[in-house]
Structure 1
């Protein structure tokens, strides 16, 4: 039984309270009746999330915000001297011991949480203590891949982020072109997987394959400004960032394409819609 993971189990027997499910090794988990699909029969297979409750294995068809080995943003629903309970999307709350709290967790506030199985207790546990910019091997990414990001927080180099719920990476400050907020979610792109196993991420796709996106932004801004935009290939990266939330590199590629398509005119200090 894969504790803390979504998996497919078979209905072995049922009673008035629910169903007994088994895996290939005949290990059992209990699925309360309220979570079972209607007309479920013995022998049917069902996809469930397995967790522990009072030293017993239970199952639910609810979808947790994250599984073991993943990060998620969770709200604290209760605090005790021994730890905090977090809402992680299923009927049972996730416990974070006091010793696994980077800062004391406060009820009603949101936190980034990593889920793991404690080696000593064998219990699914949460923590707000995790390594920054860890080194990875055999990553399932290549440069340019689109990924989902959770913003962890700002550092001297830029922003630390969680990638696809599982990996920690970095957006360099020079690649940030808009206001960012901790715990918010963004779409990102793998920029570089370094030899030391660290991951660099950018908020904007790179290369001509994605240039239409930036052309669209420029055309929309031109239409808003009555056909004029006081930016050119001589404008500073800061000016372009403030006005369009894109890099100067992508700006120059975009206006080059628009000029070639005869959609704009490039002047000394501005561009004009044709």
Structure 2
């Protein structure tokens, strides 16, 4: 049975408290009655998340914020000297031992948590200690792929981020064109997968094939400002970043395309919607 994972199990027994579910090897997990579906019968299959409670395997139809091997932002529901209990979206809270806390976890606050199985105790465990910019092999994406990001923290090089809940990457300062906040969620794009297995990420797509996104962003901004923006290809990168949250390179591509399509007019110090 896959501990800390969502999987399909078979109903083997029913009683007044709930159902006994089994996997192909015959290993069992208990599904409390509160999560049982009346239309299901013995022999039917059901998709559940398997976790531990009182040293027993239990199942739930709830969807956790993250599974084993993944990251998620979680709120602390109780903090004790021995560790903290985090709300991870299911009936059972996730425990983070004190030794696995980067800083003391405070009740009511939100933290980025990685879930793993403690090898010694064989228990699903959380940690706020994790390696920055690790090296990876056989990554499931390529340059240009759109990904989901969780902002970790700002460093001298830029922003460390979690990619698709599983991988840690970096957005260089030169690729940041908007205000970012720790634990916020953003969309991003794989910029490069380096030979050392590290991942570079951008907040914006690269290349002319993605220029429509930038063109639309400028059009939206023009409409918000009554058809006029005091920006042009002579504007500084800082002015462009502050106003439309994109690089000067992408801005010039976008307004060039809009001008060619006869949608805008470009002056020395402004662009105007036609």
Tell me the TM-score normalised to structure 2 length. Answer: 0.98
The equivalent of 2:24 in structure 1 is 24
CA distance, structure 2, for counterparts of residue 226 and residue 78 of structure 1? 51
The residue matched to 2:243 in structure 1 has which SS? helix
Q: C-alpha displacement at 1:233, in angstroms?
A: 1.2
The equivalent of 2:62 in structure 1 is 62
Q: C-alpha displacement at 1:224, in angstroms?
A: 3.0
How big is each residue's C-alpha offset from its partner over 1:132-173, in whole Å with a ceiling of 9 and x where there is no partner? Answer: 000000000111101010001111111110000000001111
The residue matched to 1:126 in structure 2 has which SS? strand
The equivalent of 2:74 in structure 1 is 74
Aligned residues: 274
Q: C-alpha displacement at 1:269, in angstroms?
A: 2.0
The equivalent of 2:186 in structure 1 is 186
The residue matched to 2:252 in structure 1 has which SS? helix
Q: C-alpha displacement at 1:222, in angstroms?
A: 2.2
The equivalent of 1:259 in structure 2 is 259
How big is each residue's C-alpha offset from its partner over 1:93-126, in whole Å with a ceiling of 9 and x where there is no partner? Answer: 0000000000000001000000000000000000
1:35 aligns with 2:27: no
* Gaps in structure 2 of 5+ consecutive residues: none
Q: RMSD between aligned alpha carbons? A: 0.9
* Gaps in structure 1 of 5+ consecutive residues: none
CA distance, structure 2, for counterparts of residue 205 and residue 197 of structure 1? 21
How big is each residue's C-alpha offset from its partner over 1:198-247, in whole Å with a ceiling of 9 and x where there is no partner? Answer: 10111111112221121122122223333322211121111100011111
Q: How does 1:169-184 map to 2 (within 5 A)?
A: 169-184=169-184
The residue matched to 1:253 in structure 2 has which SS? helix
CA distance, structure 1, for counterparts of residue 194 and residue 144 of structure 2? 14
Higher mean Cα deviation, 7-16 or 200-209?
A: 200-209
The equivalent of 2:240 in structure 1 is 240
The equivalent of 1:6 in structure 2 is 6
CA distance, structure 1, for counterparts of residue 102 and residue 83 of structure 2? 12
CA distance, structure 1, for counterparts of residue 170 and residue 192 of structure 2? 10
CA distance, structure 1, for counterparts of residue 179 and residue 49 of structure 2? 36
CA distance, structure 2, for counterparts of residue 223 and residue 26 of structure 1? 62
CA distance, structure 1, for counterparts of residue 96 and residue 223 of structure 2? 51
CA distance, structure 2, for counterparts of residue 97 and residue 122 of structure 1? 14
Higher mean Cα deviation, 189-198 or 219-228?
A: 219-228
1:165 aligns with 2:168: no
The equivalent of 2:212 in structure 1 is 212
The equivalent of 2:124 in structure 1 is 124
1:269 aligns with 2:262: no
